[in-house]
């Protein structure tokens, strides 16, 4: 962690709004990607992003060490998304808004045909994973967390993280192969 980030977190802990705004600017992408990956819905992901930063701002003083900020924030996002997934499961709503929008935006983009097809295949293959497998896998792939950090974020043993990531990779690979 660089000194600038350490100072920002320390100032934000004392309710310095400018410092917190700089943190939002720095982490918004990471939070948004994590929420989209877990919820597969851009509108809900935006809500989670706002909720997560709001929660982070008001409970930042409880964070013991500034070094733990990144994984602490990911944990907040993970729990918020999980709550929404549980609610969604209860309502039995099938949301595939993000996937549909993404596929449309890929089709409209100027990417080469092969790349377009590949991205669409990847998105579709990601949907075949359960939220637990998708979350563990994307926390590793997109955010670059270690298995130990992911275990802390998801409140599961490290062995479970290892097997979830492995299963996710195997499923994705098989899905991509069957689409070709």
Partner 1 sequence: MQHVDHLLSAYVDNELKEQERLVVEKHLQDCTDCLELYGDFTWMNGQLKNTFESLLLPKNITSKVMQGIHSHEEQTYREVPVIFSYTALRWSTISSILLLLVIHISLFFLLGSLFSFTPIRILYHLVHGFHTVFSAIPYLSLTVAIFCFPLIGASLWSLRLLLSSKKVEMQQ
Which residues of the chain form contacts with partner 1 (CB under 8 A)? 17, 20-21, 24-25, 28-29, 32-33, 36-37, 42, 46, 49-50, 53-54, 57-58, 61, 102, 118-119, 122-123, 138, 140-142, 146-147, 162, 165-166, 169-170, 172-173, 176
Question: Would you give the distance in Å from CA 148 to the centre of its chain?
Answer: 17
d(CA 61, CA 154): 22
Burial classification of residue 144, based on how many CB atoms lie within 10 Å of its CB (0-12 exposed, 13-18 middle, 19 or more buried): exposed
DSSP string, 83-99: HHHHHHHHHT----HHH
Q: Which of 25, 27, 131, 22 has its CA nearest to residue 79? A: 131
d(CA 74, CA 159): 20
DSSP string, 19-50: HHHHHHHHHHHHHHHHHHHHH--HHHHHHHHH
- CB distance 40 to 98 below 8 Å: yes
């Amino acid at each position: 962690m660089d000194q600038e980030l350490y100072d920002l977190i320390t100032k934000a802990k004392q309710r310095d709004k400018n410092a917190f705004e700089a943190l939002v600017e720095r982490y918004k992408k990471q939070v948004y990607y994590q929420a989209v990956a877990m919820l597969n819905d851009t509108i809900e992901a935006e809500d989670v992003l706002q909720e997560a930063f709001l929660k982070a701002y008001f409970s930042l003083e409880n964070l013991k060490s500034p070094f733990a900020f990144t994984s602490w924030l990911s944990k907040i996002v993970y729990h918020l998304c999980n709550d929404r997934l549980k609610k969604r499961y209860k309502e039995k709503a099938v949301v595939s808004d993000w996937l549909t929008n993404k596929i449309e935006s890929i089709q409209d983009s100027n990417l080469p045909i092969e790349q377009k097809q590949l991205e669409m295949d990847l998105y579709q293959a990601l949907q075949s994973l359960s939220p637990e497998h998708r979350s563990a896998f994307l926390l590793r792939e997109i955010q670059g967390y270690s298995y130990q950090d992911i275990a802390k974020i998801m409140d599961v043993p490290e062995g479970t993280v290892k097997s979830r990531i492995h299963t996710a990779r195997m499923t994705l690979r098989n899905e991509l192969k069957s689409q070709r």
